A and B are shown apart, each in its own frame.
Chain A
Amino acid sequence: AQSVTQLGSHVSVSEGALVLLRCNYSSSVPPYLFWYVQYPNQGLQLLLKYTTGATLVKGINGFEAEFKKSETSFHLTKPSAHMSDAAEYFCAVSDGNNDMRFGAGTRLTVKP
């Protein structure tokens, strides 16, 4: 079975600082990897995904993530945090079919 570990349930950064949200996965098959963002009282919105090909994936709102097979990681980064980035972020791994597993989530706080 697949699984995802998100390191740090809460991350706090200052506005303009680097955002780094960590995600490690376990999968017995080549993984499909995703980052979703959830704003309060809303559903999940896809930020970016890795399926095949280029390992550095760019998403919406200036976020990007790099698939590192040797480290089984898919960390999410953004060079400069904005107040509007405050939300909860979920990493997910899929087998390409109906088995998608989510991490427990990381709540990002952005301080002015």
Chain B
Amino acid sequence: DAGITQSPRHKVTETGTPVTLRCHQTENHRYMYWYRQDPGHGLRLIHYSYGVKDTDKGEVSDGYSVSRSKTEDFLLTLESATSSQTSVYFCATRTGVNEQFFGPGTRLTVL
């Protein structure tokens, strides 16, 4: 357990509203990731960060933005939520040896 918390754990929102998910880590890991998990797709990378204010896009970044103003916090924002963004979102961190540690997940439902 790498001390990763995610908030909120569950959220229901309406189409068109902005949503921000938070990931907080206590291990001082440099790298942080946001994934979404959907049946039949496993986990797919949305965005990642390799340091404060340093971020890059992943495989499924459209409709999402991220920010990292502190080492311990990595925020994922859905600018205008759509039903296709209903999913379970996982945050992960990585040490230098490539192993990733995962948070407990946030279940997001967009109505």
> CB within 8 Å of B: which residues of A?
4, 9, 32, 34, 36, 41-46, 49, 51, 90, 94, 96, 98-100, 102-105
Contacts and interface: CB of A to CB of B under 8 A. Distances in A.
A100 B40 CA distance: 17
B43 interface: yes
9 contacts: A32-B98, A43-B104, A44-B43, A46-B99, A90-B42, A90-B43, A98-B50, A100-B45, A102-B43
B28 to A, nearest CB: 18
Interface residues of B, number: 24
Given A90-B43, A98-B50, A104-B42, A43 B102 contact: yes
Nearest to A9: B40
Interface of chain B: mostly helix, strand, loop or mixed: strand
A26 B7 CA distance: 35
Nearest to B6: A43
Given A90-B43, A94-B98, A43 B90 contact: yes
A98 B56 contact: yes
A46 B98 CA distance: 12
Interface of B: 4, 31, 33, 40-45, 48, 50, 56, 90, 92, 94, 97-105
B20 to A, nearest CB: 20
A42 B90 CA distance: 10
A104 B40 contact: yes
Contacts of A44: 43, 90, 92, 102
A90 B42 CA distance: 7
Contacts of B103: 43
Which 5 pairs between the two chains have the least Cβ-Cβ distance? A102-B42, A43-B102, A44-B102, A102-B43, A104-B42
